Every structure is written in C-alpha cells, then in structure tokens.
Amino acid sequence: MVERFARFSCAASLISEQITATLDGAKLFALSSPFGRNVNPGMEGSRLKIVIKTKEFGTAEWLHIVSELVKGIPLAKRGQENPVK
C-alpha cells in the first residue's frame, strides 16, 4: 500500500507483518542508503514502513526508487547474503 501525504510531500509504503518479520533491518537500511536522507525506512508498529520525500524527486525518479526498493526486499531477508557490496 502506498499513501501520499501532500502536506509532507512524501509517500509511505507499509509491508505486512509476516514479511517484516523475515527481514534484516540493517540490510534494509543499506538498500535505502544510496538514495540519501530522502528515503527513510522505519517501523509503524510491527510493520516495515518506507517513507520517500517525493518533493525532492520528480515522479519518474521516486517511482524508480520504489521499484528498486521492492526489488531489493527479497535480498534483505535474514540469512541472505548482504545486497550491498
């Protein structure tokens, strides 16, 4: 689910509790770090939340960021090799 918050010019995506429980937080932060401070993974309750400050990017650019993060989530599972080398 992606929500857009006009007041903050950001989009947030929440990942299910089941998937969140299988992920390594350090690997998620490593996946988001190439995008700088405008992409912030965090938690909302027991669910992973990724906030992208869309004001800093054009639509195509922030959608590309979302795509890259979604592709990287399977690599961030606990026990998998670190996706950042």
CA atoms within 13 A on the CB side of 78: 7
Higher local confidence (pLDDT), 64 or 5 = 64
Q: What are phi and psi of 5, to 5 degrees?
A: -115, 100
Identify the CA nearest to 62 among candidates 29, 32, 42, 85: 32
Summarize the confidence of residues 33-58 as an average pLDDT.
86
> How many degrees, rounded to 5, is the angle at CA 32 between CA 39 and CA 81?
165
CA–CA dist 13, 58 (Å, integer):
18
Q: Return the structure tokens found at 70.
A: 């979604």
**Which tens digit of pLDDT belongs to each residue from 20-38?**
899 998 898 899 999 998 8
Predicted TM-score (pTM) of this structure: 0.69
CA atoms within 13 A on the CB side of 48: 23
Q: Where are the domains of the chain?
A: 2-76
